C-alpha cells in the first residue's frame, strides 16, 4: 500500500485500540503557585461550580484563590508521597494503568489522564491518536455517575476531539456503581478491613463525595447511585440496615448539600452511644486528599474529640487485585466488538 502514497505522505501506523483512564486530578506540588494553578482550573469548571459566571469569577479570583492555595497546600503536604515526590492519586493512577496494560496485553494501548492538572486529557489523547489508536475507550474512574466528575471528564475529552481533523472512534464507559465485580470487591474490602481491626465497629460508614442538593433536583443520579451501592454491599455482607450508613463529605459554601453530612455525623455518633466505627469512601477509585487527609486524619480527630474511642479508615480499592479486577471487567465489557 505504501508504494501508492505520495513521497511526502505522513508515516502510517497499524490501527490500534486505546483505553484512557480518566481521574479527577492533582496539583504538581504543594507550594502556593502550584496549588493556585490547580485550584483555578478545577474551580473554573462550570460543571463543578454552577453559579453566575461574573459573580463566581470575582469570588474565585479575588477571594478563593487568594487564601485557599495555602490551606490546601498544607493539607496535601500531609499526604504527599515523599518517596515518589508526587501525590498518592497520581502514583496509584499510573500503577493502575500499568497493571491494566499487563492484563490486556500488547494489542491494547492503556494510558491515564487527569481532568485537572497533569498528565492532561489533551496530551494523552493526542499521544494515543499519534500511536495509531483509531478506537479509544474513555473510562472515567468514578463508580457513581455525576456531572462534576464523569460528565466533565468526558467533556474535556470531547473538546480535544473537536480540534482533531481525523478523530478516532470513541466510546465512554458507563458508571459501574452496581456492577457485580465492584460490589463484590467493596464487600470483600469491608469484610477484610473489619476483620483486621483489633475492635468490633458499632457501625461502618460509607462516605461519598458530596455535591449541592440542587444538582440532585436538576436530575443528577449520583445521590441514588450512592445509596444503591451501599445497599448492595450491605446485602452482600448480610448485615443489618443500621450497620452500614451512607454519608456525604467535602461540602463548602452556604448552599445545602446532600445529607447526611459526614463531618456532622462523626460529631454526633458518640453521643448516640456509637463510639467505635470504621469508614470507607466508595466513590473514590484511588486514595487522595479527600480520603487520606479529610477522612483518615481530620475525621478521626473530630470523632475522638467528640467522645469516640475507636476509628479506622478502610482504604480505596486502588491498584490492588480486587480493584484491578473491577477495572478490567468493565473495560473488557465495553471493548466488545472492538477486540
Q: Is residue 3 part of a domain?
A: no
339 residues of the chain, pLDDT tens digit each: 456 667 776 666 679 999 999 999 999 999 999 999 999 999 999 999 999 999 999 999 999 999 999 999 999 999 999 999 999 999 999 999 999 999 999 999 999 999 999 999 999 999 999 999 999 999 999 999 999 999 999 999 999 999 999 999 999 999 999 999 999 999 999 999 999 999 999 999 999 999 999 999 999 999 999 999 999 999 999 999 999 999 999 998 889 999 999 999 999 999 999 999 999 999 999 999 999 999 999 999 999 999 999 999 999 999 999 999 999 999 999 999 998
Do 21 and 168 sit in the same domain of this protein? yes
Residue 216: CB atoms within 10 Å: 16
Do 22 and 169 sit in the same domain of this protein? yes
Which residue in this structure is represented by grid cell 452496581? 178
Cβ atoms 281, 295 nearer than 8 A: yes
Question: What is the tally of structural domains in the chain?
Answer: 2
Task: Tell me the C-alpha distance between 102 and 185, whole Å.
Answer: 20
Do 110 and 195 sit in the same domain of this protein? no
Do 63 and 141 sit in the same domain of this protein? yes
Do 128 and 41 sit in the same domain of this protein? yes
Do 144 and 188 sit in the same domain of this protein? no
DSSP 160-171: HHTT-SSPPEEE
Range of the domain at 219: 180-313
> pTM for the whole thing?
0.94
For position 157, which CATH number holds? Answer: 3.40.50.1400
The candidate with the shortest Cα–Cα distance to 96, out of 175, 20, 181, is 20
Task: Tell me the C-alpha distance between 44 and 60, whole Å.
Answer: 8
Do 284 and 240 sit in the same domain of this protein? yes
Q: Is residue 2 part of a domain?
A: no
Amino acid at each position: 500500500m505504501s508504494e501508492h502514497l505520495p513521497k511526502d505522505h505522513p508515516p502510517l501506523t497499524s490501527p490500534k485500540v486505546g483505553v484512557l483512564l480518566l481521574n479527577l486530578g492533582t496539583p504538581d506540588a504543594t507550594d502556593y503557585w502550584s496549588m493556585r494553578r490547580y485550584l483555578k482550573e478545577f474551580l473554573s469548571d462550570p460543571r463543578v461550580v454552577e453559579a453566575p459566571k461574573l459573580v463566581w469569577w470575582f469570588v474565585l479570583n479575588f477571594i478563593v484563590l487568594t487564601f485557599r492555595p495555602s490551606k490546601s497546600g498544607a493539607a496535601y503536604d500531609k499526604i504527599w508521597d515523599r518517596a515518589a515526590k508526587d501525590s498518592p492519586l497520581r502514583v496509584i493512577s499510573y500503577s493502575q494503568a500499568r497493571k491494566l496494560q499487563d492484563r490486556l496485553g500488547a494489542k491494547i494501548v492503556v494510558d491515564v489522564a487527569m481532568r485537572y492538572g497533569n498528565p492532561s486529557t489533551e496530551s494523552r489523547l493526542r499521544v494515543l491518536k499519534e500511536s495509531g489508536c483509531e478506537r479509544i475507550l474513555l473510562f472515567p474512574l468514578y463508580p457513581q455517575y455525576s456531572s462534576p466528575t464523569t460528565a466533565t471528564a468526558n467533556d474535556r475529552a470531547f473538546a480535544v476531539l473537536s480540534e482533531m481533523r481525523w478523530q478516532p472512534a470513541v466510546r465512554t464507559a458507563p458508571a459501574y456503581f452496581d456492577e457485580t465485580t465492584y460490589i463484590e470487591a467493596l464487600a470483600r474490602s469491608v469484610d477484610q478491613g473489619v476483620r483486621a481491626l483489633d475492635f468490633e465497629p458499632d457501625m461502618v460508614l460509607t462516605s461519598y463525595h458530596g455535591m449541592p442538593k440542587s444538582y440532585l433536583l436538576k436530575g443528577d443520579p449520583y445521590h441514588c447511585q450512592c445509596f444503591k451501592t451501599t445497599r448492595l454491599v450491605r446485602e452482600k455482607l448480610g448485615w443489618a440496615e443500621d450497620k452500614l450508613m451512607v454519608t456525604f463529605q467535602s461540602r463548602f459554601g452556604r448552599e445545602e448539600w446532600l445529607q447526611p453530612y459526614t463531618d456532622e455525623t462523626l460529631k454526633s455518633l458518640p453521643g448516640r452511644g456509637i463510639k467505635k466505627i470504621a469508614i470507607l469512601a466508595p466513590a473514590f477509585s484511588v486514595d487522595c486528599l479527600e480520603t487520606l487527609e479529610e477522612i483518615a486524619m481530620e475525621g478521626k480527630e473530630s470523632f475522638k474529640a467528640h467522645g469516640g474511642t475507636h476509628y479506622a479508615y478502610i482504604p480505596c480499592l486502588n491498584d490492588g487485585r480486587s480493584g484491578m479486577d473491577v477495572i478490567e471487567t468493565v473495560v473488557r465489557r465495553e471493548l466488545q466488538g472492538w477486540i
